[in-house]
Structure 1
């Protein structure tokens, strides 16, 4: 039987986090409730033993840090994840009037599995930058919450070969439909719609919408699934599930050891940004934490990161897509992800550390290696290892439907990984 209390907490987190901006906001609420203090990157920082801190960059990436007794001597135990998920983002000039229907042009973000986006109840959320009534630039989060759009499928009667050979053109086939207009000559105004929604959400000082970063999302809530509720289904499990698990482990960890959780944006598009894993965010944090380069390098030598991202659980209908000896099963334990070409950062030393943790906690552990005749994805793990010089391990929970609008994971795996990451944070 699923641990319904923890899965309900995850459901609430996913529901409140339709975009990376909202996910970081949700995590900040939990961190502040647990006594973490914000760090402003424009201020001077000071750290005290036992102190709890967090810093946000771009509103979409976050570092949470607990200052232990001696980070130089003991190192820093880290967990990394990412806040972004494949999705459809609204273009700058998105308005389309086709046959009197109001549509929005969208850009594909990341490796989206497009077919499941059809015939879903979609809403829109993200960040809006605007001028207030005093002429100052401001930013606000927006979330329409209710279903406002859909991408209707073409009926099978108009494409009899659809189940054999239909391809999806991201430019022409996926602009969502928002409304029916008065006629084919009506010119929709998306920024006016956005301004109305901002005002409805309490943005009273709005004068002009300047720009935005908005994504469509599925309004169907996440849920437990299965005869014994052994599965968990929802949007953005890759990789908000790991953000949630990492935060739960951090908040439950024992004091004394220096602990760090980093949740980067832009992993799905290569991580190359100011707040991505290939950017300087973690390095700059460590430089400010330990300004002396010798002390910092000694701390890094004694530190380790567990990069938590999803793993491909073996699909019962497509078992041949996996290596015959490396098909992780849902609810059979977290997965160590291995790739000889360094698409994952795991090596025998870091894998042994994780296996030993699992062994001590009586948690089963699995391994994933992609078929030798298939390409392998990657994570923030190898990037962080290369940028920081940090021992790193890639792990994940086995899932089905990765990069779909609705993904599936095992509820037991979530509880087990929280247990292991908590032990990693707390270990001396």
Structure 2
């Protein structure tokens, strides 16, 4: 290559510096920051759990829930959640809302499996939960791997029960069974997309029957009896449940140099976590700065917690109102 071409290339091409070409103290800061990120991935494997983690981080940093304010002034740190699945947090600036906010948006849901409304089934002396997939999963990834359960169940009397089983080292885990290699040759001619029937992605949850040998469905009864003893759950309560199935593995460093992170749910929690930490470190400025965490991105951002929902505009308008100390005029809303 001629010197002229080299100079032209240097002038016109975008420079892509390697992120590891840094001073040692900068590398140390990166690794320290990554430890907090891994903890967030472990504690926030579902949108509910990530929002709960974020709220704790915000409150520890001095943020307060919006209901504690009658008026918002410069420097105030505020947050609000919707249905425990979305979040808006802000550091209030000097300028009026009509000048605009600086907002960073992320989604906190990830592809997973959900329980069907009536999930319990007994088959071949084993007990399963029937599932359906949420978002774009590669179905074969979910076979013969350790899985955990997280979610909520409302009992008949309205009591809310939180379920979280499989992440603690002392917990049991769950799995979706697969055939041994020498028994699945009939599947080799199928496309990868057809290899796993989603209707048969049933979660194995137990195999010990109720001790009465004369009772029907005694394997299912054995598991239900166990769930009732531990949580007070009956089968009909699953109609009022929202339980998600995710990988049970914890975040781990990848590579001899530990330069990468292997973990579930990094899309888009990598953006959520970094924007959360950035907001916590933010000093009051002229413009109000905010973060917005949405749900349902993996299935089109629909629903009352998805980014398409009017609830976000409603809540931002509520912020607008508290900053002004009055209901904003139509023009101010349009400019905002």
TM-score bracket, normalised by the shorter chain, equals 0.7 to 0.9
Partner of 2:120: 95
Answer 1 or 2: which has greater helix percent: 2
2:152, 2:242 within 8 Å by CA — same for their partners in 1? yes
Tell me which of 306, 313, 335 is aligned to 1:276: 306
Partner of 1:186: 218
Q: Deviations over 1:167-212 (max 9, x none)?
A: 111002x10111113388325256655554447xxx9xx9x94721
- Runs of 4 or more consecutive aligned structure 1 residues displaced over 6 Å after TM superposition: none
1:142, 1:197 within 8 Å by CA — same for their partners in 2? no
2:125, 2:207 within 8 Å by CA — same for their partners in 1? yes
**Matched position secondary structure for 2:220:** coil
Matches within 5 A, 1:60-71: 60-71=85-96
- 1:293: Cα distance to partner? 2.5
1:125, 1:216 within 8 Å by CA — same for their partners in 2? yes
Partner of 1:247: 276
1:22, 1:141 within 8 Å by CA — same for their partners in 2? no
Would you say 1:106 and 2:138 are equivalent positions?
no
Matches within 5 A, 1:322-401: none
Q: TM-score of the superposition, structure 2-length normalised?
A: 0.77
**Matched position secondary structure for 1:238:** helix
Q: Deviations over 1:196-255 (max 9, x none)?
A: 4447xxx9xx9x947210011111101110232221110011122221111011111232
Would you say 1:170 and 2:198 are equivalent positions?
yes
Partner of 1:234: 263
Q: Deviations over 1:44-85 (max 9, x none)?
A: 853222111111111111111111111436421001111111
- 1:273: Cα distance to partner? 1.3
Change (3 A) 1:219 1:185: same
Q: Deviations over 1:112-152 (max 9, x none)?
A: 11111111111111122235xxx4x2434321133431112
* In structure 1, C-alpha distance between the alignment counterparts of 2:91 and 2:249, rounded to whole Å: 36
Matches within 5 A, 1:5-404: 5-40=32-67, 46-72=71-97, 74-131=99-156, 135=157, 137-145=158-166, 146-160=171-185, 162-163=187-188, 165=190, 167-172=195-200, 174-182=201-209, 185-188=217-220, 193-198=226-231, 209=237, 211-256=240-285, 257-290=287-320, 291-298=328-335, 300=336
Q: In structure 1, list runs of 5 or more residues that go unmatched.
A: 301-428
* In structure 1, C-alpha distance between the alignment counterparts of 2:106 and 2:299, rounded to whole Å: 14
Change (3 A) 1:221 1:56: same
1:39, 1:55 within 8 Å by CA — same for their partners in 2? yes
Change (3 A) 1:191 1:18: farther
Change (3 A) 1:28 1:91: same
Change (3 A) 1:294 1:254: same
**Matched position secondary structure for 1:14:** helix
1:104, 1:177 within 8 Å by CA — same for their partners in 2? yes
2:252, 2:262 within 8 Å by CA — same for their partners in 1? yes
Q: Greater relative contact order: 1 or 2 (C-alpha under 8 angstroms, separation 6 or more)?
A: 2
Change (3 A) 1:192 1:51: farther
2:90, 2:279 within 8 Å by CA — same for their partners in 1? no
Change (3 A) 1:240 1:105: same
Change (3 A) 1:195 1:74: farther
* In structure 2, C-alpha distance between the alignment counterparts of 1:289 and 1:35, rounded to whole Å: 18
* In structure 1, C-alpha distance between the alignment counterparts of 2:226 and 2:264, rounded to whole Å: 25
**Matched position secondary structure for 1:171:** helix
